């Protein structure tokens, strides 16, 4: 029995690179699809937002001279590429799925609206929300908070390459310790880099709990859905 009925899973584009320096690692892609299939088989309704950092980020583009809005649009298109890769991996694994886009671009995906998304989720399809919010100056973290709230998800699962929220960046500070739970207010007060500020504030304002966990360890997603205490819960 799964802990949650409907989830919004945020995957980082950067993690999709696996061992590579750029783009999509087929092994990591296959592992993600297999992990998601496991919880789909448990009957969980799954919405997914995937980032685009493995291909392009607007902010780093603008530091290299790109117009920021065009750079962000390139970033949003990068999330569409990742979404299509994920969709293709789901289809190969026999998982029914649907790509919705925040920017109109049929036939690549259907234009997003909440009710279409709910229809697909209730029909048992994994729904991939691509192109972020559709607007520049946002990130896919904000996109996932927004979609998570809109589809009335029970929780947002933020799959990263670290196993939770730490007092400091564990990749830089070996004395950092992990929280098993923490409130939104404490995340904000300590300026912890769980997600960007807009994303955290949206979750706080709309009571969407977040679980941060390491998605790169195969089997972890199922553990989270089975109620194992492996990540950090961010709650009111
Ligand atoms: N982006 C955007 N609006 C959105 C979501 C994303 O402009 O609503 C752009 C932004 O340039 C961002 C890029 O898409 O840098 C890729 O998303 P993100 O950096 O969140 O990917 P991740 O870090 O999760 O791989």
The reported pLDDT for the residue numbered 51 is: 97
**Burial code of 195-212, b = ≥16 C-beta within 10 A, e = fewer?**
beebbbebbbeeebbbbb
Closest to 107 measured CA to CA, from 116, 96, 98, 118: 98
The reported pLDDT for the residue numbered 62 is: 86
Q: Which of 139, 157, 193 to mutate to test the pocket of ligand 1 (most atoms within 8 A of CB)?
A: 139
- Alpha-carbon distances, residue 67 vs 63, 77, 87, 142, 213 (angstroms): 9, 15, 30, 21, 34
- pLDDT mean by block of 10 residues, the chain; 236 residues: 95 94 96 98 98 94 92 97 98 98 98 98 98 98 98 98 92 93 96 93 97 97 97 96
pLDDT tens-digit series, residues 160-210:
999 999 999 888 899 999 999 999 999 999 999 899 999 999 999 999 999
The reported pLDDT for the residue numbered 71 is: 96
C-alpha dihedral (208, 47, 129, 113), degrees to nearest 10: -80
Ligand 1 is surrounded, with C-beta below 6 A, by 12-14, 51-53, 57-59, 71-72, 75-76, 78-79, 132-133, 135-136, 138-143
The pLDDT mean for the chain works out to 96
pTM of the predicted model, to two decimals? Answer: 0.96
How far, in Å, is the centroid of ligand 1 from the Cα of 41? Answer: 30
Which amino acid residue places its CA nearest to atom 18 of ligand 1?
51
The reported pLDDT for the residue numbered 70 is: 96
């Amino acid at each position: 029995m799964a802990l949650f009925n409907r989830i919004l899973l945020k995957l980082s584009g950067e993690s999709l690179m696996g061992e590579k320096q750029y783009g999509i690692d087929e092994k990591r892609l296959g592992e993600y699809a297999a992990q998601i299939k496991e919880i789909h088989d448990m009957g969980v309704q799954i919405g997914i937002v995937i980032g685009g950092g493995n291909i392009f980020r607007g902010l780093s583009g603008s530091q290299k001279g790109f117009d920021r809005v065009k750079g962000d649009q390139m970033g949003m298109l990068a999330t569409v590429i990742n979404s299509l890769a994920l969709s293709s991996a789901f289809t190969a694994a026999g998982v029914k799925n649907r790509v919705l886009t925040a920017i109109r671009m049929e036939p690549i995906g259907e234009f997003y609206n909440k009710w279409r998304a709910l229809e697909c989720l209730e029909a048992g399809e994994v729904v991939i929300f691509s192109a972020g919010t559709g607007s520049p100056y946002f990130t896919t973290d904000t996109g996932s908070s927004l979609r998570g709230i809109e589809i009335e998800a029970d929780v947002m699962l933020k799959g990263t390459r670290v196993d939770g929220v730490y007092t400091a960046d564990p990749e830089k500070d070996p004395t950092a310790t992990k929280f098993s739970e923490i409130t939104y207010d404490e995340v904000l007060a300590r300026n912890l880099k769980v997600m960007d500020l807009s994303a955290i504030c949206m979750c706080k304002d709309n009571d969407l709990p977040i679980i941060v966990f390491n998605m790169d360890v195969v089997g972890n997603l199922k553990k989270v859905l089975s109620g194992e205490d492996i990540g950090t819960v961010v709650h009111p």
